[in-house]
Structure 1
Amino acid sequence: MPYTGDVTPGGPPDVRALDALTITKMSVGPMDNNAYLLRCATTGEQLLIDAANEAPRLLSLIGDDGLSTVVTTHRHMDHWVALEEVVAASGARPVAHPADAGELPVPCDTVHDGDSVRVGACELEVIHLVGHTPGSIALLYRDPAGTAHLFTGDSLFPGGVGNTRGNAADFASLLHDVSTKLFDRLLDETWFYPGHGKDSTLGAERPSLPDWHARGW
């Protein structure tokens, strides 16, 4: 079955196999959060993006091959309910941005804008996007054999940037960072994977940037 990125809480995961990296997307309840398991094709090493909830399902998805790293995209609780249990069961290294790491239930190694996080032979670039929270991050994988793949947490969705709760300064910051660090740098073909709901591409969303700016959310 071709990858669509359409997953539902309690439903089966969707799998996208690239040459060097396999991406498995699964939705966990009760808030329809996306969790992403990345597996290096060369080494078999695995990394999880957002241990959001339902630790038993996440651990079943991880399987017997172990987990090296858990990256939390931001501090909001619906993205880390299962973090403590997954880390305890797997021994994985938890990673977050320092501006949000103190709000998480386990001590984390911290990363900054421009740093890299590795999963086996594959490298993920950390992109700091300020606004949804002070320490929100995205992870960028530049596939040597194809397009770029971007994991945006709650900073970018199909149809707009993440919720800034009516705070004009936070919205301006987030739209600025998303515009300059994502849309200005990356090609239209870049596929992005958000913290909730369906995927999209930067090209599909790019024409709407002026509308997002004008509406203010």
Structure 2
Amino acid sequence: MTYSGVVRVGGPADVHELTDLMISKVAVGPMDNNSYLLRCRATGEQLLIDAANEAPTLLRLVGDDSIASVVTTHRHGDHWQALAEVVAATGARTYAGARDAEGIPVPTDVPVEDGDVIRVGRVELTARHLVGHTPGSIALVYDDPHGPPHLFTGDCLFPGGVGNTRDDPAAFVRLIGDVETKLFAVLPDETWVYPGHGKDTTLGAERPHLPEWHARGW
């Protein structure tokens, strides 16, 4: 079945099957957050991105193989409501951006800096520190050796714009600058984008709109 990236709260996960990695996307309420389960196909090791809410839903998705780690993309509460329960059930290591860790009530085992590598089995994810939505938001880049890159952006990049900077012009300038220099400038148009809420997109679909995002200021 072809992956669409379209999921709904209470509905099934959608699975993107890559050569070395399986990506399962599920939506959880009440704020329609996306959580992503990554599974290394060579080793079976699993990693969860954003234990946002509905711990029973996430633990069913994880299954009997459990998870080795959970990455929280940023400190906002809708992205970690299920984190304590998921960690208690699985014993997973916790990762978060070093500058956001203090705002997450579950202890962060591994504070993440820009350029750090997080492994799930034989697969490597590179963290990119993006400032503006929060001080320590991170995106994760999987540079697939068999195809285009895959990019997990939390709330820093969506179809149609960057994340909410709460009418703070300086925060918007910082966020769009980081998104342009650390993502658009170095990754190809074919890069698949998995955001923290809503539908997926690609960098190519969003790139032509960068000037209008600058002009409108959000």
SS of aligned partner of 2:132: coil
Structure 2 segments unaligned to the other structure (5+ residues):
none
For 1:97 and 1:201, how far apart are their aligned partners in 2?
24
For 1:107 and 1:160, how far apart are their aligned partners in 2?
31
Q: Which amino acid is 1:159 matched to?
A: G
Question: How much identity, in percent, do the aligned residues show?
Answer: 68
Scaled by the length of structure 1, the TM-score of the pair is: 0.99
For 1:89 and 1:7, how far apart are their aligned partners in 2?
25
Q: Which amino acid is 2:217 matched to?
A: G
Q: Offset at 1:53?
A: 0.1
2:9 pairs with 1:9: yes
Tell me the alpha carbon deviations over residues 27-71 of structure 1, each in whole angstroms, 9 at most, x when there is no partner.
000000000000000000000000000000100100000100000
For 2:146 and 2:199, how far apart are their aligned partners in 1?
24
RMSD value, Cα? 0.4
Tell me the alpha carbon deviations over residues 51-106 of structure 1, each in whole angstroms, 9 at most, x when there is no partner.
00000010010000010000000000000000000000000001001111111121
For 2:84 and 2:98, how far apart are their aligned partners in 1?
18
Tell me the alpha carbon deviations over residues 165-188 of structure 1, each in whole angstroms, 9 at most, x when there is no partner.
000000000000000000000000
Scaled by the length of structure 2, the TM-score of the pair is: 0.99
Structure 1: which 4+ aligned runs deviate by more than 2 Å? none
Q: Offset at 1:157?
A: 0.2
Q: Is the 8 A contact 1:189 1:201 kept in 2?
A: yes
Question: Residues 1-217 of structure 1 correspond to what in structure 2 (within 5 A)?
Answer: 1-108=1-108, 109-217=110-218
For 1:122 and 1:44, how far apart are their aligned partners in 2?
11
For 1:117 and 1:128, how far apart are their aligned partners in 2?
13
Q: Is the 8 A contact 1:34 1:197 kept in 2?
A: yes
Q: Offset at 1:107?
A: 1.0
For 1:170 and 1:216, how far apart are their aligned partners in 2?
10
For 2:105 and 2:174, how far apart are their aligned partners in 1?
27
Q: Is the 8 A contact 1:83 1:105 kept in 2?
A: no
Q: Work out the number of aligned pairs and report it.
A: 217
